[in-house]
A and B are shown apart, each in its own frame.
Chain A
Amino acid sequence: MSKEARLGAVSAEPDAEVRADHRIGLPAIFAAFFWLGVTSFGGNTAAWLYYQIVQRRHWVTDAEFLSDVALGRIAPGSGGVNLTVQVGQRLRGGAGAATAVVGLLSGPLVIVLALAAAYTRIGWSPAAHAVLDGIAAAAIGLTFATGLKLLPSGSARLGPLAVTLATVLCVGVLRWPMLPVVLGLAPISIGLALVQGRNA
């Protein structure tokens, strides 16, 4: 195997340091996103990706991750798939993006078909429902923990924190459509970042 693949294998270890100047191998990208796909429950791909790709593997930074989350949600399509495309692109260009998406989707594709086939034979037990509820609850917990960890920090955090709060209020609590909320808040937040960048 190539040097890249070996690097990828090393980087799959927990707490491994991945150096930004080394490119990460496609097999490692596939393996990481395949695992991500089959273990992301309850629509929390972003939170899970943060844990696996950012915190454990350090393949992208917090700032890059957040920027990709935002664009992924504004663009059409699934936010989780869009995020994966962008992170894959950062890691290894077009090939990285394609590998990451195929890795992410191939496991769930097989599992969902197997579930559907099993369902048509044996039906659905109440216990299975309960287990799924339990998994979903913990997955939602991971989503909240991730969002809270990524709250704006630093000395000039009051403005950004207000933007986060406004986003949660409008989209999460009041259930306004996401796109107009983001398009309304983005100019304010970007303006704030420009002003703070100038003062810094």
Chain B
Amino acid sequence: MPDDFRTLLALVLVFVPLSLLSIGGGASLLADMEHQSVTVHRWTTAREFADLFAISRAAPGPGTMLSTLIGWKAAGCTGALTATVALYLPSSLLVYGAARLWGRWRGSVWHAAVERGLAPIAAGLILSGGVAVLRVSPGGAAVWMAAVAATVLLLRWPWLHPLALFAASGALFGLVGLW
């Protein structure tokens, strides 16, 4: 078996279980990824892993693109693609199956009650997500203030495009940072 194929297989064997076990978000996932890529497989050094983590936070996208970067370090672009698919495909298939099953009960009293019952919890989870990101942000008090200001602006003027606000806030922080 050629070496690069073996590496790709190892990536699949690391990220597929992580995909299905990563219930409730990124924190536990991160510890496992670190252990596997630094200690077990030596795809990255501890320092490289920390750098890759910082880069993955800077990039846009849903949740973690860290697996992509680990795959890239381990086996180039093929590795990046393999690790991304291995992390996102199994959980996506599971959710797809669950959503289809759930859709079959549409129209029943239970279906409506469950959806209405989950709605206030979902709103709470969205707000909690904001709090969690705020807490781990390295920017300190300035980030807290800017986040509150952005919230007020968006609620007061709903026509305001969020991207314009992202750009303005980024530019403001950049200018203050330079100065």
Using a CB–CB cutoff of 8 Å, the interface residues on chain A facing chain B are 37-48, 51, 63-64, 66-82, 84-86, 89-90, 94, 97, 101, 104-105, 107-109, 111-113, 115-116, 119, 124, 126-152, 160-161, 163-168, 171-173, 175, 177-179, 182, 185-186, 189-194, 196-197
Interface SS of A by simple majority: helix
Question: Which of B62, B121, B162 contacts A189 (CB under 8 A)?
Answer: B121
* With contact pairs A84-B62, A107-B60, A138-B147 given, residues A160 and B95 touching in the complex (Cβ less than 8 Å): no
Residue of B nearest to A133 (CB): B139
Instruction: Determine whether B52 belongs to the interface, using a CB cutoff of 8 Å to chain A.
Output: yes
In angstroms, Cα B30 to Cα A78, docked, is 12
Question: Which of B55, B96, B103 contacts A85 (CB under 8 A)?
Answer: B96
Question: Which of A45, A119, A133, A144 contacts B137 (CB under 8 A)?
Answer: A133
Contact indicator A190/B95 (Cβ below 8 Å): no
Using a CB–CB cutoff of 8 Å, the interface residues on chain B facing chain A are 19-26, 51-52, 54-65, 68-69, 72, 77, 80-81, 84, 88, 90-92, 94-96, 98-100, 102-103, 109, 112-134, 137-139, 142-144, 146-151, 153-155, 162-163, 165-174, 176-178
In angstroms, Cα B124 to Cα A144, docked, is 10
Contact indicator A143/B130 (Cβ below 8 Å): yes
Interface SS of B by simple majority: helix
Contact indicator A67/B173 (Cβ below 8 Å): no
Residues of chain A within 8 A of B118, CB atoms compared: 66-67, 70-71, 186, 189-190
Residues of chain B within 8 A of A78, CB atoms compared: 22, 26, 62-64, 88, 91
Contact indicator A139/B166 (Cβ below 8 Å): yes
In angstroms, Cα B55 to Cα A124, docked, is 9
Contact indicator A66/B122 (Cβ below 8 Å): yes
* 15 CB < 8 A contacts A-B: A38-B60, A43-B129, A45-B61, A66-B115, A69-B126, A77-B88, A86-B96, A90-B99, A131-B171, A132-B57, A143-B133, A150-B126, A167-B127, A171-B128, A175-B132
Residues of chain A within 8 A of B142, CB atoms compared: 133, 137
